A and B are shown apart, each in its own frame.
Chain A
């Protein structure tokens, strides 16, 4: 029975950590996109506290662009051999 080794050489180790980043990324993005929940609404706060639409747009789309860039970077580094990761839980 082939057993997965406890410790890995540097390359495989790096690859595993990149896959960890792939798994972690959606949660990070979710947290960032839920930040607008903290913004005050026009009804409940003074008007100068209201977040202008341009700021909101920049924030939401900024995260979007960063997410795509991060996703692309991770994909470019992890795409080649998919074989061993299929088994990792």
Chain B
């Protein structure tokens, strides 16, 4: 048998070891060493295990022995929350990090306009809700000590004999208080993080897991004889069938999930001590694994304990008493250390979290309110904050101890559930704050108030027993004799399980009142600002604007910051801010952004509400107005507008650039065409000029020339000048047509008459005969157009056929058709036609088909095309079997082209 002294010695050694670990971790963190361990996801996951308190370690077995598998709900809820990290925890951690939140109370107060009233209320509720839980841990340590001190008495469930439990509890509480003070309040700020505490908690997490697994393995393989035998024993035991009522199964799972989110100590390790959001992702599967292992052997231990231990043994202590009764002292010692670890780690973190809340939201505001000008005074206030933290730790520990002495303790699980029910009341305000911008401060206050009152009335007070806090009469007939106010049958609905009843009513009414009041109240500007930042925390990392342009002196802010952050820290912060503002040295300008950043920095040390109040004292007056909020919204709207305008403009510019590029290409082309045209014209003019000059020189210089020669040379000169004149006429004609300066002489006339005239003109004096086939019936169409110009086109086409048709018996078919509002006149000869590759270019100026002799300058078809365009028609080359074919289209019922008409008129006027 282990003596109590041995046990105490081992215990002290263990605690000394924890102190050493915490000290080393703290020192390493200070020097920036061992980050791989201190900031690892493993340590983060293990630190979450403070969820598993002595209630888990000892109480779960007792719970299982009493109610079967119901105990597992306490772990299912948190497992679900963790595996669903993406939905809630991710958001919570992001908000916690971006707002430098220090506790649950701070989170809720920051969300609802940094209201200190709200923080105060939440703090009080948390203290009331968690104190029984701390008492529970003290009780479990004392009970487990007692079982070693007086094994027989404890095993038979009697009160301890020589062992003074009050004294033991006092020393345990004192020891824990010292540890928490030492490592929890060493320094201020750096985001309320405590590497020493976290690493100690992680070590304890490993110890309690190993201890429970060891006991479990001993029970399954040592006592029961294997897995199959254990399962047989389980089925044969008193808890051998599934007997959990559906309502309790759902409610307790929900309650555990909610408490996991709302418990101050869970918030501390999960959000405040979080270093990296990715750790959350790792913990999402690793922590459920831990919980699963912690609860794996609970039922076997309970069943074997019920089998082997004498009737009436306290099932809450089976984990210890089973190894003890089998003479396994080493294992019992390990189990004791496991239970001790569970209890101490929970008490340390819970006390730390609560003391932060008490100090930031109760002590500091009172201290601030007492000295009005205090925020602007010089002198370090950090010692005040730290002192208030330490006092708060002592106060909370004292409260826990007092509760333990007064209540005397009940079943562990019952106290745990009650505590869960209390903190679960934070849920509506918290979730509403994270997901709903419409949640207001008044709504949160009302909801919290209603939920808390109902929890006290239906869960906390009845737990003390009938006639202890509430009289039997109240239980029977309701508060003040009102039948619908019975603590376990509200509104006359009876038959519900008391826990289900309390949880469902308090949470439902809490949420209902919260939503209803929020719907009907109007939030203050700063609430709306904070609300937007909380709800949209995942969308933008911008800290937003909290202060209107302030008249604050930077010196005053500097003095205040020094007092809270410390001289060195404050100087560094101001310097980096000054640099961010682009200043080389000196103090930064008190811009809203700077003041906001400073407030956030202070909030990490003293909480959002206090920091806001302190900055408010210096900056003065309301920090932000509705107009400012609207201005912020306007700014972002303008930014959006501006960016979309930029986008449209850039699109426009690229389009214009493309157009310009195209225009440039066209211009280059045109310039090349113009050059080609000029060289063509020079060439065309030069040839007749050369022969004119030669022959005139002969006429001038040759003596005794015959009259016949003389007249021949003169007629050559004459012919060349006629050719020149015609060329110039054609050019002039073309230029007039191209510039649209032509005057159209519109008349009515028969197509046949025009063709007659054209044929007569072009065939007059022709060297070769041309056989022309016509269709006189079709030619009776009346046309309203410039008949002379049309005739000019026909003449050109007919004389071309006459000149260039290479057939033996040249023949020209002229056919006329009316198609869709236009007259098509086709001129088809039986010559060799035009080669395919040249059809594209025959209408270009100066184009002449290669290898064909002729006297034309190559302007005829160009002129024809220009004329037809002016007349609103067209001339095209037809790919025809053999021979060349041209189609002239003339509109019948419409006026010539609009543009040409107006141009004609302007040219005429």
A and B: interacting chains: yes
**Interface positions of A (Cβ within 8 A of B):** 1, 19, 22-23, 25-27, 29-30, 33-34, 36-37, 39, 41-42, 50-57, 60-61, 64-65, 67-68, 71-72, 74-75, 78-79, 82, 86-87, 89
B243 within 8 A of A: yes
Q: How far is the CB of A50 from chain B (nearest CB, A)?
A: 4
Contact (Cβ within 8 A) B281 A41? no
Contact (Cβ within 8 A) A75 B84? no
Known: A36-B242, A64-B288. A23 touches B278 (CB 8 A): no
Distance, CA A26 to CA B84, complexed state (A): 5
Complex contacts, B314 vs chain A, CB 8 Å: none
Distance, CA A50 to CA B240, complexed state (A): 10
Complex contacts, A60 vs chain B, CB 8 Å: 69, 72, 76
Contact string against A for B residues 218-252, beta-carbon threshold 8 Å, 1 for contact and 0 otherwise? 00000000000001101101011111111001100
Q: How far is the CB of B871 from chain A (nearest CB, A)?
A: 53
Q: How far is the CB of A60 from chain B (nearest CB, A)?
A: 6
B253 within 8 A of A: yes
Contact (Cβ within 8 A) A39 B242? yes
Q: How far is the CB of B216 from chain A (nearest CB, A)?
A: 13
Complex contacts, A51 vs chain B, CB 8 Å: 241-242
Contact (Cβ within 8 A) A53 B284? no
Contact (Cβ within 8 A) B244 A25? no
Contact (Cβ within 8 A) B644 A79? no
A25, A54, A79 — most chain B CB neighbours (10 Å): A54
Contact (Cβ within 8 A) B86 A71? no
Contact (Cβ within 8 A) A54 B292? no
A-B pairs with CB below 8 Å: how many? Answer: 106
Known: A56-B69, A75-B282. A36 touches B244 (CB 8 A): yes
Q: Which residue of B lies closest to A68 (CB)?
A: B289
Distance, CA A31 to CA B736, complexed state (A): 89
Contact (Cβ within 8 A) B240 A68? no
Contact (Cβ within 8 A) A54 B234? yes
Q: Which of A22, A39, A64, A79 contacts B292 (CB 8 A)?
A: A64
Complex contacts, A25 vs chain B, CB 8 Å: 83-84
Q: How far is the CB of A6 from chain B (nearest CB, A)?
A: 17
Complex contacts, A41 vs chain B, CB 8 Å: 242-243, 245
Known: A54-B234, A82-B278. A34 touches B250 (CB 8 A): yes
Q: Secondary structure of the A side of the interface? A: helix
Distance, CA A41 to CA B281, complexed state (A): 38
Contact (Cβ within 8 A) B250 A37? yes
Complex contacts, A1 vs chain B, CB 8 Å: 640, 643-644, 647
Contact (Cβ within 8 A) A64 B79? yes
Complex contacts, B284 vs chain A, CB 8 Å: 71, 75
Could you jot down 26 A-B contacts, CB within 8 Å?
A1-B640, A1-B643, A23-B86, A26-B80, A29-B79, A29-B83, A39-B242, A41-B245, A50-B241, A51-B241, A52-B235, A53-B69, A54-B234, A55-B242, A57-B234, A60-B76, A61-B296, A64-B288, A65-B292, A67-B285, A71-B285, A74-B285, A75-B281, A75-B282, A82-B281, A86-B538
B462 within 8 A of A: no
Distance, CA A54 to CA B231, complexed state (A): 6
Contact (Cβ within 8 A) B87 A26? yes
Q: Which residue of B lies closest to A56 (CB)?
A: B242
Q: Which residue of B lies closest to A86 (CB)?
A: B538
Ranked nearest first, the 8 interchain pairs of A and B with the lowest CB-CB distance are: A71-B285, A26-B84, A51-B242, A54-B231, A50-B241, A37-B246, A64-B292, A72-B285
Q: How far is the CB of A48 from chain B (nearest CB, A)?
A: 11
Distance, CA A15 to CA B281, complexed state (A): 15
Distance, CA A72 to CA B644, complexed state (A): 43
Contact (Cβ within 8 A) B285 A26? no
Complex contacts, B243 vs chain A, CB 8 Å: 41-42, 50
B858 within 8 A of A: no
* Number of residues of chain B lying within 8 A (CB) of chain A: 43
Known: A33-B76, A68-B285. A53 touches B241 (CB 8 A): yes
B68 within 8 A of A: yes
Q: Which residue of A lies closest to B541 (CB)?
A: A86
Q: Which residue of A lies closest to B289 (CB)?
A: A68
Contact (Cβ within 8 A) A53 B68? yes
Contact (Cβ within 8 A) A53 B288? no
Q: Which residue of A lies closest to B288 (CB)?
A: A68
B299 within 8 A of A: yes
Q: How far is the CB of B576 from chain A (nearest CB, A)?
A: 25
Distance, CA A65 to CA B72, complexed state (A): 14
Docked complex: B58-91 residues within 8 A CB-CB of A? 68-69, 72, 76, 79-80, 83-84, 86-87
Complex contacts, A50 vs chain B, CB 8 Å: 241-243
Distance, CA A50 to CA B281, complexed state (A): 39
Q: Which residue of A lies closest to B643 (CB)?
A: A1
Distance, CA A67 to CA B288, complexed state (A): 8
Q: Which residue of A lies closest to B72 (CB)?
A: A60
Q: How far is the CB of A51 from chain B (nearest CB, A)?
A: 4
Distance, CA A36 to CA B72, complexed state (A): 12
Q: How far is the CB of B873 from chain A (nearest CB, A)?
A: 51
Contact string against A for B residues 121-152, beta-carbon threshold 8 Å, 1 for contact and 0 otherwise? 00000000000000000000000000000000
Known: A41-B243, A53-B299. A61 touches B234 (CB 8 A): no
Distance, CA A30 to CA B253, complexed state (A): 10
Contact (Cβ within 8 A) B79 A67? yes
Distance, CA A17 to CA B72, complexed state (A): 32
Complex contacts, A87 vs chain B, CB 8 Å: 538-539
Distance, CA A19 to CA B87, complexed state (A): 11
Complex contacts, B288 vs chain A, CB 8 Å: 64, 67-68, 71
Distance, CA A72 to CA B281, complexed state (A): 9
Q: Which of B240, B277, B296 contacts A52 (CB 8 A)?
A: B240
Q: Which of B69, B237, B285, B292 contacts A75 (CB 8 A)?
A: B285
Distance, CA A42 to CA B242, complexed state (A): 8
Distance, CA A69 to CA B299, complexed state (A): 23
Contact (Cβ within 8 A) A23 B87? yes
Docked complex: B268-305 residues within 8 A CB-CB of A? 277-278, 281-282, 284-285, 288-289, 292, 296, 299
Docked complex: B525-578 residues within 8 A CB-CB of A? 538-539
Q: Which residue of B lies closest to A82 (CB)?
A: B278
Q: How far is the CB of A72 from chain B (nearest CB, A)?
A: 5
Complex contacts, A74 vs chain B, CB 8 Å: 285
Distance, CA A87 to CA B541, complexed state (A): 11
Q: How far is the CB of A70 from chain B (nearest CB, A)?
A: 8
Q: How far is the CB of B72 from chain A (nearest CB, A)?
A: 6
Known: A71-B285, A86-B538. A37 touches B234 (CB 8 A): no
Q: How far is the CB of B552 from chain A (nearest CB, A)?
A: 34
Contact (Cβ within 8 A) A67 B281? no
Distance, CA A37 to CA B251, complexed state (A): 12
Docked complex: B452-466 residues within 8 A CB-CB of A? none
Contact (Cβ within 8 A) B79 A54? no
Distance, CA A30 to CA B81, complexed state (A): 10
Q: Which residue of A lies closest to B540 (CB)?
A: A87
Distance, CA A42 to CA B238, complexed state (A): 12
Contact (Cβ within 8 A) A29 B278? no
Contact (Cβ within 8 A) A36 B249? yes
Distance, CA A30 to CA B282, complexed state (A): 20
Complex contacts, B281 vs chain A, CB 8 Å: 75, 78-79, 82
Distance, CA A55 to CA B249, complexed state (A): 17
Distance, CA A23 to CA B296, complexed state (A): 26
Distance, CA A24 to CA B586, complexed state (A): 53
Contact (Cβ within 8 A) A53 B234? yes
Complex contacts, A19 vs chain B, CB 8 Å: 86
A27, A42, A68 — most chain B CB neighbours (10 Å): A68
Q: Which residue of B lies closest to A34 (CB)?
A: B250
Complex contacts, A33 vs chain B, CB 8 Å: 76, 80, 253
Distance, CA A41 to CA B282, complexed state (A): 38
Q: Which residue of A lies closest to B539 (CB)?
A: A87
Distance, CA A86 to CA B765, complexed state (A): 93
Distance, CA A61 to CA B71, complexed state (A): 13
Complex contacts, A64 vs chain B, CB 8 Å: 79, 288, 292
B68, B242, B284 — most chain A CB neighbours (10 Å): B242
Contact (Cβ within 8 A) B242 A30? no
Complex contacts, B245 vs chain A, CB 8 Å: 41
